[in-house]
Amino acid sequence: RKKMGPLLLLIICQCAINSVKTHSVSNPNIILMMADDLGIGDLGCYGNRTLRTPNIDRLAEEGVTLTQHIAASPLCTPSRAAFLTGRYPIRSGMAAFSRVGVFLFSASSGGLPSEEITFSRLLKQKGYATALIGKWHLGMNCESSNDFCHHPLSHGFDYFYGLTVTNFRDCKPGQGSVFFKGVQKALVIPIQIAGITLVSLAIVQYIGLLKVPFQVLGYCLLIITILLVVLIFFFYHFRHLNCFLMRNHQIIQQPLSYENLTQRLTKETIQFIERNTDSPFLLVLSYLHVHTALYASEDFRGKSKHGLYGDAVEEMDWSVGQVLDVLEKHNLSDKTLVYFTSDQGAHVEEISSAGEVHGGYNGIYKGGKSTNWEGGIRVPGLFRWPGVIQAGASIEEPTSNMDIFPTVVKLAEARLPSDRIIDGHDLLPLLQGKVTRSKHEFLFHYCNAYLNAVRWHPGNSESVWKVFFFTPNFSPEDSNGCYDSHVCFCHGGFITRHDPPLLFDLSRDPEEKVPLTPETESRFYEILRVIHLAVDNHTRSLHAVSNQLSWDNLLWKPWLQLCCSSVFQSCYCDYDSEGSSLEGHSG
């Protein structure tokens, strides 16, 4: 009996420890932080030595750093759709066949379809309080200005404070326009054709070669004038019509003010956490930093070594620190999984009108936003969950931002949907060191709706093969981006097709400098054969869906336009002043 006592005590203690550990791994709080257009080379934990990011670096020190974390698309809208649903954006209709691959206007009818299942919806069903603070960029209305069919609150979020579209240069006076060049190019030829046609008709009418009713000429002129007036009105008032801040379904600031904007987003974040200290919560903190227009508050402006871009990165890092501090203050650190990433790589072509670099740094990686070169899709991937996942570990296996969906759904003990393909995989075994290989043998890289490249990581090899079926034409040719068009495009004269495809081994050539050939790689044709088979299998798994980024769904529809006052008052309101009380809003 004396010998059995300590043994029994040991067994009881071990059971208690296992019980605590099992309990701690289910239903944690979940905070998912996503930067906008942040380069993987902008962070200290990924090698940057001049930008100060101590709080984001702390996530790496206390958690896991993924070094081959891949965005499912190199553009905001499709990447975020994939993140929320765990599915390639081509499956949900969130990948464009036209040149424009993202939503540009608040009054467009496209968006994340209601049939898509987001992790927020599944976690809400399991009793989680859910909030999205910051950028949405996945649509708002379908048929009327108040149906909110694509709004965050229709996709499983209880609370929303942020922008439904994105942060454009046009939203900040003095920062130029992302549309001016494109609109200018698009309108010059149609206006010239219309003008020449009208003048020609008037001439043949005058000399009597053709009898054209005067009314027809008048109607044509009237229609063209009305269209031009509407277009000029829209772009003149773009900031008021598209750049506004919402709380749930209500506009609280129109147009958006950048004054202490990061502080306001951070304050909302802290208040949401403090409202939910006693029950599990899901918080998606979707930063506006560092998409242009760049901004930074007085405390950070002019303080970094990299101009306004660096100031914005360091301000975002401060905000991350505030979030970590409030978790510590309420003893929630050990109960909370924290994730930090970017929706895609840095926008290398972002240069201000004054010549200042407003885009980030993708480290050693080629290209940037809008391309499937590594610089466009290899993004930060940081996880922290003290006591549950490894601390200070680095994982080089291919992972995807689509993996967040199955990871958090399983942690919340919700069921993964069985009626659709989920392309992501649960990351927890990898993060805990229980397995060493990623479940992603293949990853498919789309440029809008066009299959651009494929990554293959064979189970019996350290190699990571990557093939390109086409590549963007950089302009100027010897540059690292498409500076002449501001972003790279996916078809026609903007690309070069490759047959056979370009082949790289990222394990030996992460910079994608030297394509392999049958002479330099003996398995060249075998690798291509396996990848082509994988593409065939993947293509067969796709089904026709409604194209959410068709021209019809992209264009501005006046009847969908939200306005917090009236058009005659320039849609102006400001209910988000610093002094207003934010208490009493539901979490």
Catalytic residue set? 76, 137
- Strand 64-70 and strand 399-400: pairing? parallel
The token duo for 147 is: 């149906």
Pull the structure tokens for residue 317.
Answer: 């890092």
Q: Alpha-carbon dihedral of residues 184, 187, 188, 192, nearest 10 degrees?
A: -160
What is the rounded CA–CA span in Å between residue 301 and residue 307? 8
Give the angle subtended at the CA of 346 by the CAs of 345 and 352, to the nearest 5°: 160
Taking the CA atoms of 6, 10, 15 and 21 in sequence, report the sign of the dihedral they define: positive
Q: Alpha-carbon distance 342 to 287, whole Å?
A: 9
Q: Are 133 and 272 in contact (CB under 8 A)?
A: yes
Per the CB < 8 A criterion, the answer to whether 36 and 166 are in contact is: yes
Please report the DSSP string for 85-97 in residue order.
Answer: HSS-HHHHT-S-S
Asked if 400 and 440 count as a contact pair (C-beta separation under 8 A), the reply is: yes
Cβ-proximal residues to 85 (8 Å cutoff; 6+ apart), any chain: 91, 92, 112, 116, 117, 118, 119, 402, 405
- Burial (0-12, 13-18, 19+ Cβ within 10 Å), 220: middle
Q: How many CA atoms lie within 13 A of 95 on its CB side?
A: 24
Residue carrying structure tokens 């940081």: 382
The SS3 call for residue 109 is coil
How far are the Cα atoms of 94, 101, 143, 337 from residue 551, in angstroms, in the given order? 13, 10, 16, 39
Tell me the C-alpha distance between 257 and 244, whole Å.
Answer: 8
> Which contacts qualify for 349-357: CB closer than 8 Å, 24 or more apart?
349/481, 349/482, 349/483, 349/486, 349/487, 350/37, 350/292, 351/483, 352/175, 352/176, 353/176, 356/307, 356/308, 357/306, 357/307, 357/309
